[in-house]
Amino acid sequence: MPEDEQHQRFKGMPHYGSGIRDQVFQVIVRQALTGAPWRDICAGPMLVKYITPEEIEDELRRIRGDDGPSAAFTARKPVNPAGEGSSALPLPTETEDGTGGDDRT
């Protein structure tokens, strides 16, 4: 079989290792979506699998619909809805019998 026909026969078929690259790519995209410093922590796998930052950014834009962070994006430090003070919940108060104030027995 001539070489051109042989290459044509396998054209479009995934080559060895392409599935692994796709998996690494998706992991990096998920890291980026969570707000992790993906450029730093994924630099090694990106280098080994020939994944460019532009590819990741393109996929992020595709997923987000070019509107920036998606609705699933959450801030790292939640803000108090009142806009002031701590967003921590108050501790339960103790009752007279010292049970801590919850109704569970």
Confirm whether 3 is domain-assigned: no
In which element (H, E) is residue 1 found?
none
60 belongs to a structural domain: yes
* pLDDT tens profile 3-33: 555 445 555 556 666 789 999 999 999 999 9
Domain count, the chain: 1
Whether 87 is in a domain gets the answer: no
Could you list the beta-strand ranges (E) of 11-97.
none
Residue-number span of the structural domain to which 28 is assigned: 17-64
Phi, then psi, of 5 in degrees rounded to 5 = -65, -40
For the cut 70, the answer to whether the pLDDT of residue 96 exceeds it is: no
| Residue 50 resides in a domain | yes
Q: Tell whether 105 is covered by a domain.
A: no
